[in-house]
Chains A and B, each alone.
Chain A
Amino acid sequence: MEEEEAGVRRWLVDVAHWRPSPAQFDAVVALLPSHERPAIARFVREDDRKRALVSRLLHYSLVHHVLRIPFRQINICRTPEGKPYLQKNGSALPNFNFNTSHQGDYVGIASEPFCLVGLDIASVSKPQGETASEFISNFSSYLTHHEWNYIVRAGTPSQVLTEFYRYWCLKEAFVKAIGAGVGFGLQRIEFHHEQWTNISIHIDGGVSNKWRFWLFKLDEMHLASIAKGHPEDAVSSYKKTLSNATVAEEQLHSALESPEEAFTLWTVEQLTQLLELME
């Protein structure tokens, strides 16, 4: 494995290639703390249960891998808005935070030691029973005029759909990075870019230079977005979970400016081996 900057991870699991028997599934569930089980079982669809399980598997294996906390001592809680965080983080990385996302064939996790990080994976699926235009018009109130203009001028219906998903994916990554819940007004944020590089955000009409964004194409059907930003922008319930919301400006700046690495692909088997090794 390549040398990684302390605390920075981008992991991805292709869950379409994991087809466990019910016994195998239960065996993986059994590796996690028991309070996580109802959260997985409540999903009605098998694919959703699978994604929920792998999502949590990534939480625990990443925290152990990065912070070397013994598995049984890893305590992952959620804010009232549902944002997972590590409780009693007595590590050398007090602002260590992570974010998972799952959609379609992928479940991913991203972590950072200083900046807030948000990850969103989108499956660029053709809408059923309606055209691309009809589909995206459902969400027009969540996009700004500026963004909408880019989307509708993107070209073919397929290109329009992809363009829409890029904006949506970025918005989700930001909202998840700051720990906001479903109520966050997505139309308050506007993304600017140069052909999807140098992506920047305007919040409530003003440009913010404390955030950076990247878009990735995972495969023909999936894209992912990463949001990295200043801990001061975390919503209050989430900010409380960070031990040191005051980060030295130089540290933050260099963290923001560091280039994005590609995702590392893990299999479920590799992750479970990681957990089993801890025992």
Chain B
Amino acid sequence: MAATMSAISAKAAGGYRTAPALVSWKGSRAQGRSLISMAAAPRSLRLVSLRTPRFRVYAAKAETVNKVMEIVKQQLALGAEAAAAVTPESKFTDLGADSLDTVEIVMALEEEFNITVEEDNAQNITTIQEAADLIDKLVA
């Protein structure tokens, strides 16, 4: 169990700096407080004492990407071979999306994540990763 936890924490360390991560947690003030009080502690100790919320935030990121990928694959009706070639960096247009598809993808993402995407943001979403990043920003 400890081994698994540290593996996850190690990954989280790569992606997160403590202050922003704290700000993006929802309803986890108690844990936040205890972590702030440990800010001075060595990094490895802080990580070991991480509670579930931090794990949730990291998993949400990968989870977001995967969900976006599923929505895009479904919207574009990709066959098995094409679906296997999809990566987070895949551009919607490279997956065969036309102007109608891109509108529908954004709509489907808005519905799935309960967010509103402004038009200028919508134009800047060209890949799965970009969509996931925007979603996580809006949901946080």
Contacts and interface: CB of A to CB of B under 8 A. Distances in A.
A272 interface: no
A48 interface: yes
A17 interface: no
B82 A182 contact: no
A44 interface: yes
Contacts of A42: 91, 94
B103 A44 contact: no
A245 to B, nearest CB: 26
Interface in B37-92: 77-79, 82, 85-86, 90-91
B103 A45 contact: no
Contact of B103 (A48, A103, A128, A139): A139
A168 B100 contact: yes
Contacts of B133: none
A278 to B, nearest CB: 31
B104 interface: yes
A22 interface: no
B94 A138 contact: no
B107 A44 contact: no
B95 A182 contact: no
The residue in A42, A43, A44, A172 that gathers the most chain B C-beta atoms within 10 A of its C-beta is: A44
Contacts, number: 34
A45 B96 contact: yes
Interface residues of A, number: 15
Contact of B99 (A43, A44, A172): A172
A142 interface: yes
Nearest to A139: B103
Given A138-B107, A139-B100, A128 B82 contact: no
Contacts of B85: 44
Interface of B: 77-79, 82, 85-86, 90-91, 94-96, 98-100, 102-104, 107, 120, 123
21 contacts: A42-B91, A43-B94, A43-B96, A44-B78, A44-B90, A44-B94, A44-B95, A44-B96, A45-B82, A45-B95, A45-B96, A47-B96, A138-B103, A138-B104, A138-B107, A139-B100, A142-B103, A172-B99, A182-B102, A183-B120, A183-B123
Given A44-B94, A138-B104, 11 more contacts: A42-B91, A43-B94, A44-B78, A44-B85, A44-B86, A45-B82, A138-B103, A142-B103, A172-B99, A182-B99, A182-B102
7 interchain residue pairs of minimum CB distance: A48-B96, A44-B85, A44-B82, A45-B82, A45-B96, A42-B94, A138-B107
